[in-house]
Each structure stands twice: as structure tokens, then as C-alpha cells.
Amino acid sequence: MAAARTPGDGPPVEEFASVFRVHEVRTDGDRLLYVGRPTVSADALEREVHPLFREYGYEISLRRHQPAGPTGPGTYALVAEPRTVGVDGIPWTNVALALATVATTLFVGSLWYQGNAVADPASALRAWPFTAAVLGVIGTHELGHYVTSRYHRVDASLPYFIPVPIPPFGTMGAVIRMKGRIPDREALFDIGIAGPLAGLVATVVVTVIGLHLPPVTNPFGVQFNHPLLLQAIAAVTGQQLVYSDPQLIFNPVVFGGWLGAFLTFLNLLPVGQLDGGHIVRAMFGERTETIGAAVPAALFGLGAFQLLGRSSDVTLVWFLWGTLALGLAYAGPTTPISDDGLDRKRFALGAVTFLIGLTCFTPVPVSV
């Protein structure tokens, strides 16, 4: 039998002997291997040992160690790996993508300000308000996820920005990568909802600032339709979103708010690994799969309605997102280790957040 105190100062075997019979404890680099056999199902074992190993600073996984054979039943190994939360060294990939996205948004922003960064590099510098607005909203959204992940001691990457050097935004947003397991529904809910709420605050701030700046000449000849949230902000501040001169369009800074509202609605779709999928999984448990299955149908239906009834304003965005939602629904939501129910305050906050998300929706985002 292994010693009561294992190498690397991991948890003593006596603390989980009721669910896993340990035959041997060994080290493999900085990992600990508890070799033996579980006495309960894999899910029950994980629910029991995961909080214990987290307290000792380890992430745990169950792996087959030796298959069953003539000499006896097979064995398993509880593999404990040191848990790290936060940045380890300089995240060069994140830095490179962020700088590239600054460059692409400056380039696109120069076009909004009637310049051309290729012919006149100085015009890119004049587009810094557009870049600050767009990246500020996107970055604030992802920072909400990252900070909440740190709070719940779930390992997550810094944001990976996605540079795209084409109008109207110069970016496809940003993502963070969750590298640690979600311990419970509360953590899943908090991490999922923090991004949209933080992004909504940034969206309101950027929109208010942009509405007080002068309009510009529309360089692309497309019309951006406005969700109820932006219309409400304009009404409260007494500023214009639409101009009588068809050649004019709101200041490019407002695009940070427009993009923030649009991304908030998309992220709150209650399916799969999207923020809305995390929230409804925390709120409704396994019933989430039924909700998620309805999302692709709703998006395809919206696209079909526009195709049949509003041919002049057809947009493929809902067909695109319907296809994406179909894949997300098939992959399923994130399952926390502990699946205990959510408290009423969080449940209410989730419901309010989805209602606010509806104010970010516009059936036809862009018209030609």
C-alpha cells in the first residue's frame, strides 16, 4: 500500500480510498500516478476526487493503465497533473494575433474615414478611434470570460483575436480557450455570462461616445440596420442613428457598439459551446439539448423567411449561423463535473440576460 503522503505532496490515498483502491503511487515528471481500480463509475469517481485534487493543485483524469488479462483484472491510473491558472511566460501567439488585428482594423478603419492605408499609410493612424472601439468591445467581452475563469480557478487562455483585412470591421472577433474542467454549474454559469454582460457595458459606452461624433460619408454603399438596444441609446442621448442624406452614415466609432450588439446576440444563442449554451446548460441541466436542437431550425427558418418574403434584403448570415448552430448542437454543451442545481439569483440573472440579448437582435443586419 502506498504511503499516506504521496510524492509531490498530492492528496493521501486514504482520502479517496472509498472510491478508488490504490495499489501503487508513482511519479512521471511532474505528474502523479495513482495506480489501482475504481470502485464506482467513472463519473462518480470524478465528482468525488476532482475537488480534492484541485485543493492540492492538480487536475485529475482517469486512464487505462493495464488491460485485463489471464493474470487478473486490468488496472487504471488516476493521473494528477499540476494545475496552472493564468499566463505562463509570454503568450507570443496571442500578442501576434492582437497586433495583426490592430493592423487589419486600422486598414479597414482608414476606408471608413475616406482614406486608404495602402496608398497613404498615415490615414491608418487617423483610424485609431475605430480600432479602439472595435477591439475595446471585443476585448472587454473576452476579458469578462478570462477574469471569471481565474476567479473560479479554471485554466483559460488569453484572447486570440482573429484578424481579417476586409470591411466592414477588419476582424472576426476573438476567442479564449478553456483548458481546465468546469467544476460545477455555478462556475459554468458565471464564466458563460460574464462575457456578454461585460461586452454589453462596453457596447453602451462605445455607442454613446460614437453617437456624439460627426457622421462620415458611407464608403461602401450598404445600410446597417439597428437593433433595439442601439435605437434606445440614441433616443436616450438625443442623437441620430439614421441621416436624411443617404450618403451619410454614423461615425465609425459607433460600429464598435453595433458589432458588440450583434456579437452579443450571436453569443447568447442557447446552443453548444456558445456563451448562451453555457448559460442554459447551467440553468436547465441536461434539458439543454432540447433547447439547443431548436436553435438551428429557428435560424434556418429566419433565413428562409427573408429569402421568400424580402428578396431585396436577403442575407446569408442566418443560413451560415444555422449551419454552425447545427454543428454546435451535435457536439453538445459543456458538462460540469458537479451537476447540482443553480441558485435562484443566477437563474433570474440568466433570464434577464437573454431578454437583454433579444434587444441586440435585428432580422436583417445589413441591406444592400
Q: What is the pLDDT of residues 302-318, one digit of tens each?
A: 888 887 766 555 568 89
Q: How far apart are the first and last CA of the chain?
A: 74
The share of the chain scoring above pLDDT 90, in percent, equals: 47
Helix (H) or strand (E) holding 193: helix 185-211
Q: What is the mean pLDDT of residues 345-358?
A: 96
The rounded distance, in Å, linking the Cα atoms of 341 and 308 is 43
Residue 311: its pLDDT value, please?
Answer: 52
Of all helices (H) and strands (E), which one includes residue 11? none
DSSP-derived pairing of the beta strands 31-38 and 75-82: antiparallel
Each domain of the chain, given as residue ranges in start order, spans: 7-82, 92-367
pLDDT of residue 359: 96
pLDDT of residue 4 exceeding 50, the answer is no
pLDDT, tens digit (0-9, with 9 covering 90-100), for 246-269: 788 889 999 999 999 999 999 999
Between 139 and 61, the higher pLDDT residue: 139
DSSP 329-349: HHH-----SB-PPPPHHHHHH
Q: HSE (CB half, 13 Å, CA atoms) of 148?
A: 22
Segment 315-339, tens digit of pLDDT? 688 999 999 999 998 888 888 988 8
